[in-house]
Amino acid sequence: AAKQSGRNRYQLFDTEQDSRARSLREAIVNARAALEQEQFRLYYQPKVNLCSGLIVGFEALIRWQHPEQGILAPAAFLVDLEETDLIVDIGDWVMETALAQLEAWQALGWDYPVSINIAARHLQQPDFLPRLQRALERHPAVPPRLLELEILETAALEDVGQVSLVIAACQRLGVGFALDDFGTGYSSLSYFKSLPARTLKIDQSFVRDMLHDPEALAIVEGVVGLTSAFQRSVVAEGMETVEHGVMLLRLGCIHAQGYAIARPMPAAEVPAWAASFEPDPRWVEVASQQWL
Ligand code: C2E
Ligand code: MG
Ligand code: MG
Ligand code: MG
């Protein structure tokens, strides 16, 4: 009976906010344990030049190899942690793991850049730069130019002044920068101009919709024009079909990433994929019609 009334009292005060706080605490405890038990993995998804078929680089994407639930994508465990300090520790692990992978690929004679996703809270740590520098020093065989950091355009817009300083400082170290999910943040042209990122990644929603939605098409076209005017490079994300690739090439966007090229894969599968990848003949044809 005592237990029963205790439970009732608990329910009475268990507001939605409390239960959300409780599930966040649970998520933190679980993810912290996963980090300590080395259950996180990086998968790698290629970015390619659609005309030449040359690999432009790989994006490292975190996965949780959960002992019961199998491979979990970031939406299932990471998104809730973006506003907690744990995202900093996970981010440091991602950086270290990607650099170790770059080192292993260097030993194979590979020279492909790898990009990692950096949460705003990680980038905003006062000691972000010295930590990045120390991470690079732990992997002296890796030229810093092979590491690229991706930050969401929306996160960059939270504090354009500070973020542009960090971007500039990273680029002085040789590390590249990309604005991720570009087009979703409504960045004004003047903000964009002050963010010195080398690359823009066009958000996959625009790429997905551009074949049937004239406004999405206009945005893709606009971003491509913007990057060439500002001497940045551009990568289309979420290229799911060969037809998307054809349209991207018509718009002058030659670098792309998406399921039509490859899904994210464990590092061990990358060499065999790289050895067998060939661009679709339709891309090669469009490219030759446009530029020869
Ligand atoms: P993102 O950085 O924009 O990464 C692209 C996402 O789109 C990835 O989802 C990728 O698997 C997915 N994708 C790639 N090609 C296609 C396609 O053709 N169609 C569709 N529908 N999706 C495609 P993923 O791996 O689930 O990651 C989701 C987001 O989680 C990432 O978006 C990134 O913002 C975040 N994330 C991933 N790894 C990390 C990490 O290590 N650290 C941090 N802080 N965030 C990460
Ligand atoms: Mg990304
Ligand atoms: Mg993206
Ligand atoms: Mg995204």
* Bridging pattern class, strands 199-202 and 176-182: parallel
Contact at 8 Å (CB) between 208 and 238?
A: yes
Considering the chain, what percentage of its residues have pLDDT values greater than 90?
A: 84
Q: How far is the CA of 58 from the centre of ligand 1 (A)?
A: 12
The three-state secondary structure class of 199 is: strand
**DSSP conformational letter for 36:** H
- ipTM over 0.95? The verdict is yes
Report pLDDT digits (tens) over 188-224: 778 888 899 999 999 999 999 999 999 999 999 999 9
pLDDT digits (tens, 9 = 90+) for 222-242: 999 999 999 999 999 999 999
Rounded mean pLDDT of the chain? 93
Q: Tell me the C-alpha distance between 149 and 161, whole Å.
A: 18
- DSSP structural state of residue 76: G
Model confidence pLDDT, tens digit, residues 1-17: 444 555 555 555 668 88
pLDDT tens by residue, 20-59? 889 899 999 999 999 999 999 999 999 999 999 999 999 9
CB 117 near ligand 1, within 6 Å: yes
The pLDDT of 147-174, averaged and rounded, is: 94
Tell me how crowded residue 162 is: count the other CB atoms within 10 A of its CB: 12
The answer on pLDDT for 282 being more than 90 is yes
Ligand 1 within 6 A of CB of 240: yes
Query: What is the per-residue pLDDT for 9?
Result: 55
Best residue among 61, 93, 118 to mutate for probing ligand 1's pocket (most ligand atoms within 8 Å of CB) is: 61
Pocket lining: 183 vs ligand 1, CB cutoff 6 Å: no
Provide the pLDDT confidence category of residue 279 given band limits of 50, 70 and 90: very high
Higher pLDDT, 174 or 8: 174
pLDDT at 2: 46
Of the bound ligands, which one is closest to the alpha carbon of residue 72? 1
Phi-psi region of 184 (alpha: psi -120 to 50; beta: other; left: phi over 0): alpha
Q: How far is the CA of 237 from the centre of ligand 4 (A)?
A: 9
Closest residue to atom 6 of ligand 1, CA basis: 238
**For residue 235, how many other CB atoms are within 10 A of its CB?**
27
Q: Which of 87, 96, 117 to mutate to test the pocket of ligand 1 (most atoms within 8 A of CB)?
A: 117
Q: How far apart are CA 80 and CA 82, in angstroms?
A: 6
Q: What is the helix, strand, coil percentage profile of the chain, to 5?
A: 55, 20, 30
CB atoms within 10 A of CB 223: 23
CA of residue 150 to ligand 2 center, whole Å: 6
**pLDDT recorded at residue 166:** 96
Q: DSSP label at 84?
A: S
- Tell me, using a 6 A CB cutoff, whether residue 181 lines ligand 1: yes
37: exposed, middle or buried (Cβ count in 10 Å: 0-12, 13-18, 19+) = exposed
The SS3 of residue 283 is helix
* Ligand 1, atom nearest to 94 Cα: 41
Q: Would you say the CB of residue 84 lies under 6 angstroms from ligand 1? A: no
CA distance 179 to 119: 12
Tell me the backbone φ, ψ of residue 108, rounded to 5 degrees: -85, -5
Residue 86: pLDDT band by 50, 70, 90 thresholds?
very high
Percent of the chain at pLDDT exceeding 70: 95
Per-residue tokens: 158: 């939270």
Separation of 274 CA from ligand 1 center, angstroms?
A: 20
Measured between alpha carbons, how far is 282 from 287 in angstroms, rounded to an integer?
9
In the predicted model, what is the mean pLDDT of residues 140-167?
Answer: 95
**pLDDT reported for residue 88:** 97
**Residue whose structure tokens are 């690229």:** 148
Mean per-residue pLDDT, 267-289: 94
